Amino acid sequence: MPKYMLIMRSTDETNAAFAESGLDFDQLLEIMGRFNQEMIDAGVLVAAEGLDDASQGVVVDYSEQPPVVTDGPYGETKELFNGFWILDVPTIEEAAAWARRAPLAGPGSKTEIRRIPSIDEFPQDNEWIRKERAWREATGQL
């Protein structure tokens, strides 16, 4: 079955709306936990992670050689990648149906959905694909 990544994105507008909502961290965990449990119960959740605040991250810019590493927060950020779910569902439409149900969606927030190609879709006679397949088998991922 195909896998799809649901990528949570937010803007300054999203963050302001969340700050105004008055939700504390325990309430956030409750809301997200219930949604994740629905996906677990449906047998579609493969992985899910939230990300630390962007101010704690860095950006590697490959525009120059050597690449330049810049600490967050970033100037003129239009959207931030805040976390993700990986779902094992048969179609992008089903992934979108789960995304529509995601909690804490509001002004400025978006979820991007991208299919994750299976290793079987790559040339199996390629040395690097063979090495990756062996690693995945050794780590229980296949």
For 92-124, write each residue's pLDDT tens digit. 999 999 999 988 777 788 899 999 999 999 999
Q: In this model, does residue 15 exceed pLDDT 60?
A: yes
Q: Tokens at residue 52, please?
A: 């630390």
Model confidence at 1, pLDDT cuts 50, 70, 90, reads confident
CATH number of 3-138: 3.30.70.1060
Strands (E), 62-129: 68-71, 80-88, 110-116
Yes or no: say if 2 and 46 are a contact pair by the CB < 8 Å rule. Answer: no
Reply yes or no: is the peptide bond before residue 73 cis, omega within 30 of 0.
Answer: yes
Give the domain ranges of the chain: 3-138
Model confidence at 52, pLDDT cuts 50, 70, 90, reads confident
Yes or no: say if 99 and 5 are a contact pair by the CB < 8 Å rule. Answer: no
Q: In this model, does residue 75 exceed pLDDT 70?
A: no
